[in-house]
Every structure is written in structure tokens, then in C-alpha cells.
Structure 1
């Protein structure tokens, strides 16, 4: 099983985006430990402007993993990339759950009106 750490904080939309992409692109079973940085001054100092940061078991980190090409490259280096999912994502056939949720919330309502939730 692949073990990863995600340095994050509550309400971080980029962190949520990275988690969605990770669920799509990571091949095999994994355990994601979320590390809340706001509870530790040293973690805030280290990761405060860099989150989300994904780290593997050896401590190698990935900044800006919410950008699909960066995450895919990082996973591919470790032979963890689901190549078929990556190709489908690039072809527009697959999208992260967060994107689907945003689209659903912004969808026009009957009568042409949209309501904010």
C-alpha cells in the first residue's frame, strides 16, 4: 500500500482539488494522511504558503500538485500513475469530483435561473 502525507489546512480548496486528482490518477491502494498545519507553528512556517504539499514515504515532496501535469509527473516517477486515467483526463473524458460538483452547482435551473446554495 502506498502511504502519502498531505500537508493541508481546513477550507483549502486547492487541497481538495489535489485530493480529487490523486483519487483519479493514483494507481493502486493508498493511504493519505492529512497533516493539519495550522496547529503547529513550525508547520505553518514550512508549508504556510506552499500548501497543498504531498509527500511520499521517503519525504520527497510535491508542491502545486493540484496542477494535473505536475501530479501526473510526480506519480509517474514513482510508477504510481494510472496511465489510462491520465489519458482520459487529458482527453476530457474524466474529471475530478470537485469539478463535477462545481458544474452541478452552477447548472442552469428550470426557467433559466440559477440559485446560489
Structure 2
């Protein structure tokens, strides 16, 4: 599974989610961190929404991003893992 985390430097909510993702061993995923301040289009879309976690789906026409439901900043490691397991099993069924 490929995940993208839209973030920006100094965002404590982004850093907290990134730390939880780094602790997970299951499900297996590749994580790409995208700094929204590096591209005006990302900044425009996500400036008030970060952190935003998306799963990438490979389709015949390219790659599609699906934003995952926003987790509470207080979400436990188990809750983050549960969310990813749910979307991993969903994407395998497609």
C-alpha cells in the first residue's frame, strides 16, 4: 500500500501522525511525506486541512489519491492501524 501524508514544517498534528505511522509494522506500506509549502496547488487545497493522509490507487488511467477519514489527534496507535487495515482490505477487493 502506498500512502501520502500532506504536511508542513512545524505542524505538531502532522508530526504526531507521522510518528504513529512510523511505529506501525502492520499493514505494510510505503509513506511519502509531501510538504504543502513546496507547491502552491497543494498549499491551496490543504492549507486548512493538514494533516491529510491519502492512499494511492493505481488505475488504468494513472494514479488516483483517496483521502482517508481524518483521525483525531488523540487517536491511538491501534486506531491508526485499524483505519489502515480497513482501507487495505477495501483496496484489495477493488
* TM-score of the two chains, using structure 2 as the length reference: 0.66
Q: Aligned pair in 2 of structure 1 residues 38, 55: CA closer, same or farther (>3 Å)?
A: same
Distance 1:63 1:46 in 2: 16
Deviation, 1:3, is 1.4
Distance 1:36 1:55 in 2: 14
Question: Would you tell me which structure has more helix in proportion to its own residues?
Answer: 1
Given candidates 84, 87, 94, the residue that maps to 1:75 is 84
* TM-score of the two chains, using structure 1 as the length reference: 0.55
Task: Give the structure, 1 or 2, with the largest relative contact order (CA under 8 Å, sep 6 or more).
Answer: 2
What 5-or-longer segments of structure 2 have no aligned partner? Answer: 58-64, 90-94
Moved >4 Å (runs of 4+): none
Preserved CA contact (<8 Å) 2:26 2:81: no
* CA radius of gyration, larger in: 1
SS across alignment from 1:74: helix
Show the 5 A alignment for 1:34-113.
34-58=33-57, 59-62=65-68, 64-65=70-71, 66-68=73-75, 71-79=80-88
Name the structure 2 match of 1:24: 23
What 5-or-longer segments of structure 1 have no aligned partner? Answer: 81-117
Distance 1:21 1:55 in 2: 15
Q: Aligned pair in 2 of structure 1 residues 52, 35: CA closer, same or farther (>3 Å)?
A: same
Question: Would you tell me which structure has more strand in proportion to its own residues?
Answer: 2
Deviation, 1:8, is 0.6
* Aligned pairs, number: 79
